[in-house]
Amino acid sequence: MQRAESRLTPRLVDALYVEAMLLADEARAYFDEHGKDDRELLAPMLRVGFSCESLKVTTRLMHVIAWLLTRRAVEAGELNEVQGRHPSRRLGHAVDSDTALVAELPEDAQGLIRSSIDLYDRVKRIDSGMEQGESPAHSLMRRLRASL
């Protein structure tokens, strides 16, 4: 039986990495540039929430990118599997967004927040499956069976 790590293909890691980098660039452009106008139109407390949510997006994406870089290092032989699974190299914890607050933010901000949560959750499932020795595909099938 193959180990879960060997089923996490370089192609999947590369695709997730490209997605994470594109989303990080999109988030940076929005929150640092275009979103400033959106932020200024918000009530003072929502401005604070907007800033907090932008930090949460950044944190999620940086955790994902760091995890993917670790997986690339394992694939390249720069780290072995034991080093790659060390707790310090696992997917970092990201604080949940406040759904009520997010619903009051501009649509572009909401989209970036949702996208960062989706990507983080997908990588978290892969990371958790590796911890349990389960491939991402088997994990998905198990969850689908449980939901039916």
Residue type, 52: C
* Residue 13: CB atoms within 10 Å: 20
**pTM score of the predicted model:** 0.84
If we measure between CA atoms, which residue out of 98, 120, 123 comes closest to residue 109?
98
The rounded percent of the chain whose pLDDT value lies above 90 is: 78
pLDDT tens figures, 99-145: 999 999 999 999 999 999 999 999 999 998 887 665 556 666 677 77
Contacts for 137-142 with beta carbons within 8 Å, 24 or more apart? 137/7
Per-residue pLDDT, 110: 98
Using CA atoms, how far apart are residues 59 and 120, in angstroms rounded to an integer? 10
Using CA atoms, how far apart are residues 20 and 147, in angstroms rounded to an integer? 28
Residue 4 has pLDDT above 70, yes or no: no
Per-residue pLDDT, 8: 80
* Average pLDDT, integer, range 46-58: 97
